[in-house]
């Protein structure tokens, strides 16, 4: 920690990934004077945000997620100018490849919804897909969807942009500080206890991603998020991969590729993964992943291993995030549980949390479907387009 821990704050944010830093920036921008963010790691954005694939997409199956993407990606387009921070934004497109008939039917409905909201996703035949990506083995592929305004962005640069600008506006963002407890008087938040002292505050924002249940327990709130390991491999350069190679997802197989530098980044979700805070690479699963990856993208046989890592999805029962105030504890807010698509929605999520806290309710987008209350009444409408 390179600054003295303040004794009081108007808002304390716990968690320094994209959700926490975006929330800190937008609170400061709305005039909240004493915003304090604490991050237990020595750097910001090194856990789930820093370990993600960096994808940004509009192709979802629910209206609210599509609206989140529309707003968030517009914010990312303005980011370099507004935040004085380059974020390596690249619109290479997302290409979903469908190998099961039930997915074909579901994606036809998804595309109709996307079109209604102004996202002009293209429906592609196997022949059209082969022309677009001749490097890929399309055996069994029945159809695909492509939207050219999906793409990639650098998570670290986005986080650093929010950190820099939140501090410029007067917020205090501290690393190396661990939340150890939350004090309440009756049903109301009054302070956060940390490894470096206590901060008196009436408002706490839980932006701890996969670790959000730990913070919830400090406040006496059960947060239904499970940590699930996901692994990524980045290869050495592959000269035959074109610069405009899209972000490719074999949907049912949960296998994906995109260009990363001069090589390829690839991941595949393990359907048998068990919940847990597992950040080490599973070599057995990596072997299964890479065998399938080389089958689908034979050029990978020519590549070496540049790096690999594991990160955590923060998964809720309906694959939707939890956002907004928690009705059972006054002053306790959550922005977590994005189930693998948090980075791309970080910009708008931070703005909405600032509206929720300062204005009393998020209004740029109605976050009712994401409120904690849905778990109290069992009103769950799952997101289909999760990888």
pLDDT per position as a tens digit, 54-87: 999 999 999 999 999 999 999 999 999 999 999 9
Q: What average pLDDT score do residues 34-46 get?
A: 96
Task: Assess whether pLDDT exceeds 80 at residue 112.
Answer: yes
How many helices (H) and strands (E) in the chain? 9, 19
Question: Which contiguous run of DSSP H or E holds residue 65?
Answer: helix 63-83
- Tell me the pLDDT of the chain averaged across its residues: 96
Task: Assess whether pLDDT exceeds 80 at residue 41.
Answer: yes
Q: What average pLDDT score do residues 143-151 get?
A: 98
Task: Assess whether pLDDT exceeds 70 at residue 385.
Answer: no
Q: What is the pLDDT of residues 259-289, one digit of tens each?
A: 999 999 999 999 999 999 999 999 999 999 9
Task: Assess whether pLDDT exceeds 70 at residue 221.
Answer: yes
Q: What is the pLDDT of residues 132-142, one digit of tens each?
A: 999 999 999 99
pLDDT score for 382 = 75
pLDDT score for 377 = 80
**Going by DSSP bridges, is the β-strand pair 255-260/247-250 parallel, antiparallel, or unpaired?**
antiparallel
Strand, helix or coil at 172? Answer: strand
pLDDT score for 2 = 65
Task: Assess whether pLDDT exceeds 90 at residue 384.
Answer: no
Question: Which contiguous run of DSSP H or E holds residue 354?
Answer: helix 342-358
pLDDT score for 248 = 98
Q: Which domains does the chain have, with CATH numbers?
A: 11-50+156-225+318-377 (3.50.50.60), 92-150+226-315 (3.30.9.10)
pLDDT score for 83 = 97
Place of tokens 């704050």: 9
Task: Assess whether pLDDT exceeds 80 at residue 387.
Answer: no
Q: What is the pLDDT of residues 303-317, one digit of tens each?
A: 999 999 999 999 999
- The fraction of the chain above a pLDDT of 70, given in percent, is 99
Structure pTM? 0.96
Q: What average pLDDT score do residues 241-254 get?
A: 96
Triad 378, 384, 387: Cα angle to 5° = 120
pLDDT score for 386 = 77
CB 16 within 8 A of CB 181: no
CA–CA gap between residue 316 and residue 240 (Å, rounded) = 39
Q: What is the pLDDT of residues 316-365, one digit of tens each?
A: 999 999 999 999 999 999 999 999 889 999 999 999 999 999 999 999 99
Q: What average pLDDT score do residues 106-121 get?
A: 98
pLDDT-derived band at 180 (thresholds 50, 70, 90) equals very high
By C-alpha distance, which of 154, 117, 337, 141 is closest to 249? 141
């Amino acid at each position: 920690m390179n600054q003295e821990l303040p004794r009081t704050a108007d808002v304390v944010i716990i968690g320094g990934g994209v959700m926490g830093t975006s929330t800190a920036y937008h609170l400061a921008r709305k005039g909240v004077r004493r915003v304090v963010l604490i991050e237990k790691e020595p750097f910001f954005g090194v856990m789930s945000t820093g370990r993600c694939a960096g994808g940004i997409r509009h192709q979802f199956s629910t209206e609210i997620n599509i609206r989140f993407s529309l707003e968030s990606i517009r914010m990312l387009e303005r980011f370099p100018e507004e935040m004085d921070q380059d974020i390596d934004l690249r619109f290479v497109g997302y290409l979903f490849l469908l190998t099961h008939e039930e997915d074909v039917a579901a994606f036809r409905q998804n595309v109709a919804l996307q079109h209604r909201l102004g996202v002009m996703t293209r429906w592609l035949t196997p022949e059209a897909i082969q022309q677009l990506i001749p490097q890929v083995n399309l055996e069994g592929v029945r159809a695909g969807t492509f939207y050219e305004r999906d793409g990639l962005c650098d998570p670290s640069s986005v986080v650093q942009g929010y950190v820099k600008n939140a501090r410029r506006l007067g917020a205090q963002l501290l690393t190396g500080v661990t939340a150890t407890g939350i004090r309440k008087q009756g049903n109301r938040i009054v302070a956060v206890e940390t490894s470096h002292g206590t901060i008196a505050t009436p408002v706490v924002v839980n932006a701890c991603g996969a670790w959000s249940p730990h913070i919830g327990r400090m406040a006496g709130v059960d947060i239904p998020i499970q940590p699930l390991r996901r692994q990524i491999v980045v290869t050495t350069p592959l000269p035959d991969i074109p610069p405009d190679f899209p972000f490719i997802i074999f949907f049912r197989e949960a296998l994906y590729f995109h260009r990363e530098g001069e090589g390829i980044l690839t991941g595949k979700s393990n359907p048998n993964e068990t919940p847990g805070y597992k950040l080490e690479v599973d070599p057995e699963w990596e072997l299964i992943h890479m065998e399938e990856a080389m089958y689908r993208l034979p050029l990978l046989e020519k590549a070496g291993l540049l790096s690999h890592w594991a990160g955590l999805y923060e998964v809720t029962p309906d694959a939707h995030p939890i956002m907004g105030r928690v009705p059972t504890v006054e002053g306790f807010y959550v922005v977590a549980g994005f189930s693998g698509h948090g980075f791309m929605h970080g910009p708008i999520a931070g703005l909405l949390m600032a509206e929720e806290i300062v204005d009393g309710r998020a209004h740029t987008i109605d976050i009712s479907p994401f409120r904690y209350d849905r778990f109290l009444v069992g009103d769950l409408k799952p997101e289909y387009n999760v990888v």
